[in-house]
Amino acid sequence: MQKLLNKSKMIKVTVDNKEIEVDEGCTVLQACELAGVEIPRFCYHDRLSIAGNCRMCLVEVKPGPPKPQASCALPAANGQIISTNSKLVHDARKGVMEFLLINHPLDCPICDQGGECDLQDQAMSFGSDKTRFFENKRAVEEKSMGPLIKTNMTRCIHCTRCVRFSTEVAGVNDLGALGRGEGMEITTYLENSIDSELSACVIDLCPVGALTSKPYAFNARPWELSHTETVDVMDAIGSNIRVDTKGNQVLRVLPRLNEDINEEWISDKTRYAIDGLKNQRLDKPYVRNENGSLEETDWDTAFNKIKDNIDKIKPNEIACLLGDLIDVEAAYAAKTLFQKLNVENIDCRIDGAEIGEHGRAGYIFNSKINGIDEADALLIVGSNPKIEAPVLNARIRKRYLQGNFPIALIGENNNLTYPFNYMGSKSIDIKKLRDKNNETYKILMNAERPMIIVGMGALTNGSGPAILYELRELGELFGVIKKDWNGFNVLHTSAGRTGALDVGCLPSKKGLSAKQIFSGIENSNLSFIWLIGVDNKEVLNLKKQFVVYQGHHGDAGAHVADVILPGAAYTEKNCTYVNTEGRPQLAKQAVFPPGEAKEDWKILRAFSDYINCKLPFDTLDSLREKIYNEFPHLNDIDNIEKPKWSKFGRKGEIKAFDLKSPITNFYKTCSISRTSETMALCDGKFNNKIAAE
Q: What is the mean pLDDT of residues 116-120?
A: 93
Is the pLDDT reported for residue 507 higher than 90?
A: yes
For 621-675, the DSSP string reads HHHHHHHHHH-GGGGSTT--PPPPP---S--------B---S-S-TT-SSHHHHT
The radius of gyration computed from the CA coordinates of the chain, to the nearest angstrom, equals 28
Q: What is the structure's pLDDT at 1?
A: 39
CA distance 579 to 9: 38
Q: What is the mean pLDDT of residues 443-448?
A: 95
Quick: pLDDT tens for 599-637. 999 999 999 999 999 999 999 999 999 999 999 999 999
Quick: pLDDT tens for 236-271. 999 999 999 999 999 999 999 999 999 999 999 999
Is the pLDDT reported for residue 189 higher than 80?
A: no
- The helix or strand, by DSSP H or E, that contains position 304, with its residue range, turns out to be helix 299-311
Is the pLDDT reported for residue 690 higher than 90?
A: no
CB 7 within 8 A of CB 21: no
Measured CA to CA in angstroms, residue 622 lies from 294, 494, 576, 616, 617 at distances of: 35, 27, 14, 8, 5
**What is the bridge-based pairing of β-strands 286-288 and 294-296?**
antiparallel
Is the pLDDT reported for residue 692 higher than 70?
A: no
Split at pLDDT 50, 70, 90, the class of 194 is confident
CA distance 400 to 419: 9
Query: Which residues, other chains included, contact 455 with Cβ-Cβ below 8 Å and sequence gap of 6+?
Result: 380, 381, 382, 383, 384, 385, 388, 411, 491, 493, 659, 661
What is the pTM assigned to this prediction?
A: 0.93
Q: What is the structure's pLDDT at 4?
A: 39
Is the pLDDT reported for residue 691 higher than 50?
A: no
Is the pLDDT reported for residue 188 higher than 90?
A: no
